[in-house]
Structure 1
């Protein structure tokens, strides 16, 4: 039985913000650090994977972007159909990075004191690319969670880069938000599960310094514009919900 879990998600290859979260005392004190997918698709892919691999208490969950990077690295995904930063990131991966991403599980279930079995996933437990949001209809939530064992009453997801907690068909659903590509406000978002309680939290960062670090340490050609867009969280949560909303079944795409 695990006493405490720090949950991160959607790092997207941004090392300085990841390091800021990992340096927090409450994250360092957690029994496990679970990262709910999309680890490396960004401007510092190998640096982030190497940092995560160096942790002895980390559990990595597969995200849709992790699958895509593996397919690109193996020549199984047309680069012209990929986001430019993803195609570039895939080309940076060493064989050991590709193997790491290829072997990631989805979902992962861990017993956490005060919660019982908790399902950690990316999109939903059944599909790492499925979109559910804080305001998604309850019938859609029930459908997305229907395949879980009855004893799993807590689900932790990522994918949509916006932190929330809500009840959905008697299950507690948690999204910690994003480390590297937050929507709504800058900073490294994370969650803590401890003593039956969920805490959504965020570490404030020196955004200018983080952008400068990405520019200095990455060779991605458009790293300056990419870092400015995402580390400043220029897309609001309202923008993101408007973009993601059609994918959760609320209206035809």
Structure 2
């Protein structure tokens, strides 16, 4: 093991501006004890974007950042490079960020590679290594994975991605693919989902008081539809079956 090899890395993806869920995960002893916390994008597009950014930046150099498509969309909207955002809460979230926070998000990398004990070189991205909104799923066909992995160095044997809000671990062409699920907007089951890497791969879910979190978001967030938004996403009303059917065509299947 070299000096650059990390023992334990906590991975948080798709926080989507949900501060109570983030606070619950950061309070986990194994997250607090991890060598690094890696964020795999879609950090801010939600009800409390500025507060989430502030809390994460207070963690200092322990936090390593990767941007997601929703973060990029907020930046583009604020810069006048787009007139709308597909996610209805996106314009509200963009307006809540300071100019300095917008520039911070604009500077986030698309990928990050770390060496982790037991896993070797691990590549972190948001959706896929080549595109921040491309869809791959737990049941994506092997030729799809071969296409997505085409430009990855052979030394990378593990790829961690987010974007689809559903946790899984699978093998594809000898590479381990890990999706930690979503901290703030889970599909399929409730809780704040994340994962712990090193020396293996451990998918985790942190339970927290969801009714209290919904009440807090309603009290603290001025988004007009916050009660419906929080009630739907924090309670994971979207099932994994529904989401897989919705995302399937974007995976290139017939």
The TM-score range, normalised by the shorter chain, is over 0.9
User: 1:97 aligned to 101, 105, 121, which one?
Assistant: 101
Q: What is the CA–CA distance in structure 1 between the aligned matches of 2:161 and 2:42, rounded to whole Å?
A: 11
Q: Map 1:1-253; keep pairs closer than 5 Å.
A: 1-56=5-60, 57-79=62-84, 81-195=85-199, 197-251=200-254
3-state SS of 1:59 partner: strand
d(CA) in 2 for partners of 1:194, 1:67: 30
SS at the partner of 2:101? Answer: helix
Q: What SS does the aligned partner of 1:7 have?
A: strand
CA shift for structure 1 position 101 = 0.6
Q: Which runs of 5+ in 1 are unaligned?
A: none
Q: Distance in 1 between matches of 2:26 and 2:231?
A: 22
Deviation sequence 1:191-238 (CA, Å, 0-9, x none): 00012x100010111110110111112111111110000000000011
Task: Please report how far the alpha carbon of residue 60 of structure 1 lies from its aligned counterpart in structure 2 after TM superposition.
Answer: 1.2
Q: What whole-Å deviation, never above 9, does each CA across 1:169-200 have from its counterpart, x for those lacking one?
A: 110000000011000011000000012x1000
Distance in 2, matches of 1:72 and 1:186, equals 30
Q: Which runs of 5+ in 2 are unaligned?
A: none
Q: How far apart, in 2, do the equivalents of 1:249 and 1:82 lie?
A: 21
Moved more, 91-100 or 81-90: 81-90
In the TM superposition, residue 83 of structure 1 has moved relative to its aligned partner by 2.4
1:84 offset after TM fit, Å?
2.1
Quote the Cα distance in structure 1 between the aligned partners of 2:87 and 2:134. Answer: 18
Normalized against structure 1, the TM-score is what? Answer: 0.97
Aligned-partner Cα distance in 1 for 2:72–2:45: 10
Q: Displacement of 1:115 after TM fit? A: 1.1
- 1:73–1:93 CA contact under 8 A, matched in 2: no
